Amino acid sequence: MSFVRHSKRTLRTPCKDCKQKGERYLAHDTAYSDEYCEDCKVTGKLIIVDADTMLPHFLTCGKDSGKRQDDELNKVDGAEVENKALPAPTPAPAPAPVAGAEAEALNALRTLIGTPQIDRAEVERIAREVVGGVVFPTKTVVVRDNEQREIEGSTHVQLEDVLYTLMGGEYALMVGPAGSGKSSIARQCAEALGLEYYSVSLSPQTPASQVMGYMQATGDYVGTLFRQAYEHGGVFHFDELDNAHPSVLAVINDALASESAAFPDGMVKKHDDFLALASANTYGRGANRTYVARQQLDAATLDRFAVITIGYDEALEETACKATGADDATVRNVLRFVRKVRKNADKNGITQTVISPRASIGMCKMLRAGLSWDKAVEFRLRRGLDDATWTKLTT
């Protein structure tokens, strides 16, 4: 179950039925994939969610917990939402008896919502999805080995994809532009799974000894973070995989492919809780006009990974901009301008610059510190682009 916040609406007026005054959002329920939102770039039926729990408001509305989501939407003043083309929710099947991990998830969900007068069938339906791991735009709850963990802070909308891949026993290669949140996803995967996180940034100069370790002249073995994760368990992140030397990739490939690996001090068995993922800016086919120094990856290396394309999460971008302390008007203006430039770059095939969320976050920081708008744009967006290119990006 995944809800993606609709970018246009924050509802601060009290609910007409339950009179709750807390902030509510319009959000897309991605379980319904028939409707596509051009603004949010996602598919999903529009519903109303509570800001503090990111759960459907109709679940906590005390007057009629079983009301239709689209009926609730139609009562929002000025929402300007057309619901006629949206599919009606499929009635939930009769719930099976709840026991074990599902019972724990059910109780945890009731505590989270704080409303005991909720339709049991609906709560149990959600609880079963919590058992598999539920991802929200700003909150992630994962249940693994009968233990529920909620990740602190904001999470990328595609964290769910990477988590399911790792939990399924696959290695994951995240491919996306600079600033798309790949490293943050890697760290939060470890947090969600309750494992230690390790990482190494690869380059053409990274030696194999930085991955596998080496023997000193005294005969003592000098270990590495990779050895620690491989032998004792943990999530290991190979950052900039497409920037590594082929000989190092061959060593990594051999260790990932086998149940044990040859380290300088002997054979080591791979731990059952060893999970690996990597990130790259390209798909391993070599350099392109944007990432000119990337290496072509060997087919055997690529074959070890499930490849997941990571895009910019605009809901997460907005959250990060607000976290800078900039006022709401500044955040709105920055996001509107940066996203216009980003869209024009894609439309015109301009590849010599990357317009990532770092640009909008950086502008918010600069403006809050007192820098002028023109200088913030020049320093964080234009960055020396010629007049002709800049005109294409801004008009």
Other CB atoms within a 10 A radius of the CB of residue 234 amount to 21
DSSP state of 296: B
Cα separation, 204 vs 75, whole angstroms = 59
- Would the pLDDT of 122 be above 80? no
Token pair of 390, please?
A: 């800049």
- Would the pLDDT of 15 be above 90? no
Mean pLDDT score, 374-393: 94
Where does the chain have alpha helices with state H? 57-60, 69-73, 101-113, 120-132, 159-167, 182-193, 209-212, 225-232, 246-257, 299-302, 314-322, 328-348, 357-369, 373-377, 387-394
pLDDT band (50, 70, 90) for residue 106 = low
Q: Which tops the pLDDT comparison, 332 or 154?
A: 332
Mean pLDDT score, 328-343: 94
Cα separation, 239 vs 52, whole angstroms = 34
State the pLDDT at residue 94. Answer: 47
State the pLDDT at residue 134. Answer: 38
pLDDT band (50, 70, 90) for residue 157 = confident
SS3 339: helix
- Would the pLDDT of 19 be above 80? no
pLDDT band (50, 70, 90) for residue 81 = very low
| Inter-residue contact 253 to 238 (CB < 8 Å) | no
**Least trusted range by pLDDT, from 176-185, 229-238, 268-277, 291-300:** 291-300
State the pLDDT at residue 104. Answer: 63
Closest C-alpha to 153, from 175, 185, 115: 185
Mean pLDDT score, 206-234: 96
Q: Which tops the pLDDT comparison, 363 or 105?
A: 363
Q: Report the residue count for the chain.
A: 395
Cα separation, 150 vs 172, whole angstroms = 22
Cα separation, 207 vs 232, whole angstroms = 23
**Least trusted range by pLDDT, from 120-129, 233-242, 342-351:** 120-129
pTM of model > 0.85: no
State the pLDDT at residue 9. Answer: 57
pLDDT band (50, 70, 90) for residue 95 = very low
Residues 6+ apart with CB under 8 A from 21: 12, 14
- Find how far residue 29's CA is from the centre of its chain: 17
The pairing of strands 45-50 and 24-29 is antiparallel
SS3 56: strand
State the pLDDT at residue 77. Answer: 42
State the pLDDT at residue 37. Answer: 76
Give residue-wise pLDDT tens across range 266-275: 999 999 999 9
Mean pLDDT score, 356-379: 95
State the pLDDT at residue 60. Answer: 66
- Would the pLDDT of 246 be above 80? yes
State the pLDDT at residue 255. Answer: 94
- Find how far residue 118's CA is from the centre of its chain: 30
For the chain, give the mean pLDDT: 80
State the pLDDT at residue 181. Answer: 92
**What are the angstrom distances between the C-alpha of 190 and each of 25, 37, 226, 239, 262?**
29, 32, 15, 15, 25
